[in-house]
A and B are shown apart, each in its own frame.
Chain A
Amino acid sequence: MRALRGLLELSWIETKIFLREPLGVIGSLGMPVLLFLIFGRMLRGVPRPSAVLARLPFNITIVSALLIALGSVQSLIAIMAIYREGGILKRLRATPLSPVTILGAHVLVKLALTLASLVLLIVAGKRVLPGALPPNAVSFSVAVLLGTLSILALGFVLASLVPTARFAQPISAAVLYPMIALSGLFFPISRLPAPLRALAAVLPTTHAVSLMQGVWAGEGWSAQRTTVAALATIFAACIAISARWFRWE
């Protein structure tokens, strides 16, 4: 009961703190939404925007959603590095709060902010880019959140590895963004050479994209069992690794 109270209180305060830093909000979560809107502006005046969207080699909404997820993860890694360096994690650890709760609060905050950005994107999309809206917004949002959760777990592994807060941003960007290229967003994974295909199979982004694409195509959740299982496996593996490697100070 007290663990839950601590979790909610910490999550709430972390959310407020995050929103007090406008640059961080815009940089990590607002940017993908902004890109999406700029894209929408560019299609203004085009007679049949959905036809243009359909001819694109990628799904602009899924790209934006993945960027939102990666923005959340990057922000998590940066915060972990800063908090570790400032002794904030150590100070929280000296309270009765369990380590899982301390880190869980940050996961909760990142998921909430991902969802908020996604809702913002969908609401804005209704006006500027109606043809790019997910056919089933609720299922799609759930897919994005599941994917984000799995990538966040990888974020904890990266947060364990980055030496200092200064390096958190470049290192996490250098690891996370190339993952987009292997995610199957821009070209099918089957066309990749075998080693890259093997790498793609263990990256959470690949399965996150696959889940979003599947849900977008209207396949039922029962068709997503293997993808969800892959995300869950990666999540469990990453949590197990960070449980060993995570440094509190």
Chain B
Amino acid sequence: MPAPVISVRSLAKRYRKTLAVADVSLDVYEGEIFGLIGPNGAGKTTTMECIEGLRRPDAGTMSVLGLDPRRDARRLRERIGVQHQEAQLQKRIKVGEAVELWASLYDRARVADADALLERLGLAAKRDAWFMTLSGGQKQRLFIALALIHQPEVVFLDELTTGLDPQARRAIWGLVRDIRARGTTVFLTTHLMEEAERLCDRVAIMEHGRTIEVGTPAELVARHCPERRVVYSTGDDGAEEVHELRGEGDDFVTDVINRIARDGTRVRRFRTEMPTLEDVFLKLTGHGIRD
């Protein structure tokens, strides 16, 4: 395995009396979309901001692109892009101005072509629009533009799609996949398990300031929720009979299909139910993500 781009060990951060981050350890590898997932208040944002060099942790070690965010924050900022949760810009700043401003803050040799970037993010027509007039999805796309303007090696996205409607959310997912396709590593936080499952190559589950599990969504599901459920119905109209079978392991569904075929049963409906990250979360913590 190659050396990780981000490596965090035993990170802890206390705010006055509350321990926001108790014990976080994770590795992020080049070119992947890594998700820090967990409920609101789990310590995701604090963890991310420590890694970005915006906060000083009380304990633990961190390395990002070979730099220590504590000591080399300025040099690190040249090479990472960030988007903050629920961030705003100046109400009356134009989209084009914001991108040009951000472009002027970085090394010219690194800075991307602003027009092409806005085009790619679907904001070209909004160049002269004030920030306050943008929709939620457009605002988030602008923040992505600001995070990408200097072609960073790692991009940090904090609750990028919170508050967006499903359509805008899907559009943003496409853009994040596009960032990865261009070779940039993505580190994101989300409390939406569907988002994590669809978007992330690997995830770390966080609760009460601790990372309690790390792996690919499929790995975590297989490890913690191996149950599979097959529901099918037989019989005629009015006399439809529903069957439900439970089992474990990858071969279970195949076994059921083979058995039905062998028996020659006439099946009207057939559905398999696989556990999701949401189930994994429930299993690991004993409560749902939105509790």
Indicate if A5 sits at the interface (CB-CB under 8 A): yes
A67-96 interface with B by 8 A CB criterion: 83, 86-88, 90-91, 93-96
Q: How far is the CA of A90 from the CA of B82 in the complex (A)?
A: 11
| Complex partner residue of B88 from A16, A86, A96, CB under 8 angstroms | A86
Indicate if B101 sits at the interface (CB-CB under 8 A): yes
Which residues of B sit under 8 angstroms from A46, Cβ to Cβ? Answer: none
Which residues of A sit under 8 angstroms from B91, Cβ to Cβ? Answer: 17
Classify the interface of chain A: helix, strand, loop or mixed.
Answer: helix
Indicate if B90 sits at the interface (CB-CB under 8 A): yes
Indicate if B102 sits at the interface (CB-CB under 8 A): yes
Are A87 and B84 neighbours in the complex by a CB distance under 8 Å? yes
| Complex partner residue of B92 from A17, A87, A94, CB under 8 angstroms | A17
Q: How far is the CA of A97 from the CA of B105 in the complex (A)?
A: 6
Which residues of B sit under 8 angstroms from A9, Cβ to Cβ? Answer: 100-101, 104-105
Are B54 and A17 neighbours in the complex by a CB distance under 8 Å? no
Are B102 and A21 neighbours in the complex by a CB distance under 8 Å? no
Are A91 and B84 neighbours in the complex by a CB distance under 8 Å? yes
Are A95 and B77 neighbours in the complex by a CB distance under 8 Å? yes
Are A96 and B105 neighbours in the complex by a CB distance under 8 Å? yes
- Closest CB of chain A to B193's CB: distance in Å? 26
Which residues of B sit under 8 angstroms from A86, Cβ to Cβ? Answer: 87-89
- Counting from the closest, the 8 A-B pairs by CB-CB distance are A86-B88, A87-B87, A9-B104, A20-B92, A95-B105, A94-B82, A17-B92, A96-B77
- 17 A-B pairs within 8 Å (CB atoms) are namely A2-B105, A9-B101, A9-B105, A13-B90, A13-B101, A17-B92, A17-B93, A20-B92, A86-B87, A87-B88, A88-B88, A90-B84, A90-B87, A91-B84, A94-B54, A95-B77, A95-B102
- Beyond A17-B92, A21-B92, 13 extra complex contacts between A and B, CB < 8 Å: A2-B105, A5-B104, A13-B90, A13-B97, A14-B90, A83-B90, A87-B87, A87-B88, A88-B88, A88-B90, A90-B84, A94-B84, A96-B77
